[in-house]
Structure formats: C-alpha cells, structure tokens
Amino acid sequence: MKSLKVGMLGCGTVGSQIARLLVANKADLTSRAGAQIELVKVAVRDAKVKRDGVPDNLITTDANSIVNDPNIDLIIEVIGGISPAKELILTALKNGKSVVTANKALLAKDGAELYEAANKANVDLYYEAAVAGAIPILRPLRESLVGDQVIRIMGIVNGTTNYILTKMDESGTAFADALKQAQDLGFAEADPTADVEGFDAADKAAILAGLAFHSRVTDKDVYREGISKITATDVKVAKAMEMVIKLLAITELTAAGEISVRVHPALISRNHPLASVRESYNAVFVEAKSAGQMMFYGRGAGGEPTASAVLGDLVAIARHKISGGIGPKESDYASLKIAPIGQTKTKYLIRLNVADKPGVLESVAHVFAAHSVSIQTVRQTGAGDKAELIVMTHSSTESALSATVKDLSNLPAVTDVASVLRVEGAM
C-alpha cells in the first residue's frame, strides 16, 4: 500500500488534535484514503514546548524545510494569521503539494492569490475548517449545491458572540456582564475585539459569499457591525416581540444582481431555525433556488471539532493523490459586484424616546414618509411626560433609513433614538 507523507505547519490546539487523531484513527483513515497517511514533520515556533502525542523527532522550527521537502506530499497549515502562513502555503502549492488550511483570515484577505496558485499547480486547496469549524458547509455549498443557485446565506458563524447573546437573552444581563462571563469560561479572549466587533464573522462571510456566488469577495467587501452596543433593553424588547438578537453573517443577491455581504446584529423570529442555535454553537442557513431552505448546525470551534474538519479534507486530497482527479476549483466566473451597504434592503426596528404629548406620532410618521420608509407597525408605551415609540418598518434601503434616523434625532419631540436594529429572516 502506498504511503502519503504529511507535513504540518503549526501545532497548537487544533494541530495537536490532528496529530492525535491521525494516530488514533489510523486504520480507518488508511481504509478510506486508500493509502497510509503518515505525519512526518511538524513545524513549531518553540521546539522546547512539550507536545503530547507528537514525537520529538518530528518537530522542527524550520517551516520552510517542510514546504520544500520533496518527500512530503500533503501540507496542513494551522499556524493562522497572514504571514508566514501565506508565503508557506504559496511555496507548498508551487512545489506541487496539496494543502489543507483552517486559515479564515488569510483566505478572506488573499484567497484569490492562493486559489490561483493552486489552479496553476493543479493541486487541491481545501479549507472546510475555516468556516463554522466542524460543520460541513463548504463542501455542501461547492459540491452538493453545484446544480442549484444560492439566493441567500445567513450564518451564526462566531461562537463567542452567540454565547454572549444567548446569556443576555436567557438572564437579561448587560453586554459587559455577559462578556465577562464568557471570558471567565474561556469562550471569549482577553481582547475580545475580533469576535465582538464582527471581524472574525466578516472573514467567514467573505468566504461564504465567494463560494455561493462564484465571485471574488474579500474581508474588505464586508459591511461590519459588532454586538458591543446591544443593550439589555434591546434584548428585552426583542423577547417581548417573540424575537431574538443574533450576530448574523449575511450574503445575498440583490435585485440588481450584486452581492450584498454584511455582518451585523439582527432580530429574527423565535420560529426561525437560527433562533434555536444557542450557546457557542454555529449554524448556517442557506436558501437555494431549487433546494429551498436548508440549515447546517454544529460546533464552530474547538480543537477536536476543527481537527475533524481538517481530516475530512486531508482524506479527500489524499484520495485524489492516489486515485487521480482533483476537487472542484474555486470559481469566479460570475465576477459579481459588491452592493454598497446603502442599497441593502431590510426591515428595521427603531426605538425612540419621545415626549408624551399629542402630535408626536404625527411628526415622527412625517419623517418616515419624507424618506419613503414605510411603517409596518408602531407601538407606543410609557406614561407621564416620557414615552417610547417602537417602530417596525417595511423593507427599506439602509441609506433611506439612515437619513430617517438622522432627521428623527433632530425632531424636538424626540428625546433620543434609543436603538436601531435590522430585522432579518422573514419566513
């Protein structure tokens, strides 16, 4: 039986699980790949760190010696970040080695360059683990739905923010308290910016958008808002209206045939399948022209779940190496443009603190009408000289809504615009 030699770049949480599973599942993997898969070299920054299950003699600090080793067939990259991961992957591809990576940031930034390098060398570049961890979503999008047309994807693709929002929903805590709790439990980093401000989700949104619409989409194309401004009151109001707030990565085709791609918190109905995705779980909701609505749910992070996704890819490229053929390439034949966020249409929920006197609703309604933003429902609450107006709009462009909000905040009757949230996922 032929043997395939694997070199791994990086050996942190994910890498050490990959090394362990390659040994633990050896018989299964061999049978399924049609070849022995052998880990022969592992590049790390600090060779002195003890790594359980990785024999010392595999360890090297010279990553270049792996990607340039003619005896190594396949490369796993789990270093993360842009450099030196990018240079190492490009060298490996140029040297005819297929690559599995979990590097979402790199793919979102420089995916096009990597895809082209893989095409040129006629080797595989697989990255299932880069989006929604263990959930098989990229392979279904790229292979199962290949005869269909994706219309829209809405994903909960960041476990940290979903954990925080779940806690806020369940216990009514403020954002800061929920974040603290997530940090104490290891669900959030000491510096939580990449998660709570939506940067991580934006990388994944770019990758999903590119795959779904056969176009090149980068992290810079993604409109992004985080969850740090979501208040306990926002969550409470959502709950009273049978909705829940989620940080969504959304990509869809606009009426003009452009790609809208964005990450922001949004209200969704409690009946929506995404509403029941709790804690640090991830889920990706896909609408396709023929297949209709689908959802893929599971663990979005963690060493072992991510390692499972990497091994799935590793077996696929090993099979290609043994039995011929190659996986579907990334396609950019559609070359669609990115729609400006101002043209994105969605529904909005706006909460206004207003003076409780006659004529307030009239003046508020006048502002909406002036910008052609159509109101679906208005609810007025409160007593004394203070009142709250909760306005749900019909579908409206972001630019019309922004102009409306600006004018509302200048109305004498409006004390302040307490919150503006998008409403997504009409079922």
Q: Which residues are catalytic?
A: 204
Closer to its own copies by CB, 24 or 369: give it: 24
Task: Kindly tell me the burial class for residue 289, based on how many C-beta atoms sit within 10 Å of its own C-beta (0-12, 13-18, 19 or more).
Answer: exposed
317 binds its own copies (CB under 8 A): no
| β-pair type (259-269, 223-224) | parallel
127 binds its own copies (CB under 8 A): no
3 binds its own copies (CB under 8 A): no
155 binds its own copies (CB under 8 A): no
293 near 286, Cβ under 8 Å?
yes
262 near 252, Cβ under 8 Å?
no
Q: Which of 315, 341, 390, 400 binds its own copies (CB under 8 A)?
A: 315
Residue 253's DSSP bridge partners are: 259
119 binds its own copies (CB under 8 A): no
Least CB distance to its own copies at residue 186 (A): 16
189 carries a ligand binding annotation:
yes
251 near 153, Cβ under 8 Å?
yes
Phi-psi region of 205 (alpha: psi -120 to 50; beta: other; left: phi over 0): alpha
Alpha-carbon distance of 301 to 307, in angstroms, equals 10
Q: Which of 165, 263, 309, 420 binds its own copies (CB under 8 A)?
A: 309
Q: Which of 149, 228, 269, 415 binds its own copies (CB under 8 A)?
A: 149
The interface mask with its own copies, positions 266-305, x = CB under 8 A, is -------x--x------x----x-xxxxxxxxxx--x-xx
29 binds its own copies (CB under 8 A): yes
Residue 152's DSSP bridge partners are: 252, 287
Q: What does the block give as tokens for 223?
A: 């409109």
Q: Residue 414: what are its φ and ψ, rounded to 5°? A: -95, 115
Q: Which of 55, 96, 328, 342 binds its own copies (CB under 8 A)?
A: 328
Q: What does the block give as tokens for 200?
A: 């991580």
Least CB distance to its own copies at residue 185 (A): 17
390 near 417, Cβ under 8 Å?
no
97: CB partners within 8 A, 6+ apart: 67, 72, 73, 74, 75, 123
232 binds its own copies (CB under 8 A): no
Alpha-carbon distance of 49 to 32, in angstroms, equals 33
Alpha-carbon distance of 425 to 180, in angstroms, equals 30
Q: Residue 420: what are its φ and ψ, rounded to 5°? A: -130, 115
Name the segment binding its own copies (CB under 8 A); options: 51-59, 143-151, 226-234, 418-426: 143-151
147 binds its own copies (CB under 8 A): yes
Name the segment binding its own copies (CB under 8 A); options: 142-150, 193-201, 233-241, 358-366: 142-150
Alpha-carbon distance of 311 to 20, in angstroms, equals 11
9 carries a ligand binding annotation:
yes
Residue for token pair 């709250």: 388
7 binds its own copies (CB under 8 A): no
135: CB partners within 8 A, 6+ apart: 282, 283, 284, 296, 297, 298, 299, 300, 309
Q: Which of 23, 47, 82, 146 binds its own copies (CB under 8 A)?
A: 146
Q: Which of 5, 12, 13, 25 binds its own copies (CB under 8 A)?
A: 25
11 carries a ligand binding annotation:
yes
Q: What does the block give as tokens for 32?
A: 């399924």
116 binds its own copies (CB under 8 A): no
Q: Which of 181, 331, 380, 399 binds its own copies (CB under 8 A)?
A: 331
57 binds its own copies (CB under 8 A): no
Least CB distance to its own copies at residue 198 (A): 24
1 binds its own copies (CB under 8 A): no
DSSP state of 199: H
Q: What does the block give as tokens for 96?
A: 């005819």
Name the segment binding its own copies (CB under 8 A); options: 204-212, 311-319, 375-383, 410-418: 311-319
Alpha-carbon distance of 35 to 132, in angstroms, equals 28
144 binds its own copies (CB under 8 A): yes
Name the segment binding its own copies (CB under 8 A); options: 21-29, 108-116, 344-352, 417-425: 21-29
Q: What does the block give as tokens for 15?
A: 């890498």
Q: Which of 65, 193, 323, 395 binds its own copies (CB under 8 A)?
A: 323
Residue numbers in the known binding site for L-homoserine are: 189
Residue numbers in the known binding site are: 9-16, 104, 189
Residue numbers in the known binding site for NADP(+) are: 9-16
Where do contacts with its own copies occur on this chain (CB under 8 A)?
17, 21, 25, 28-29, 31-32, 128, 134-136, 139-140, 143-149, 214, 273, 276, 283, 288, 290-299, 302, 304-305, 307-312, 314-316, 319-320, 323-326, 328, 331, 333
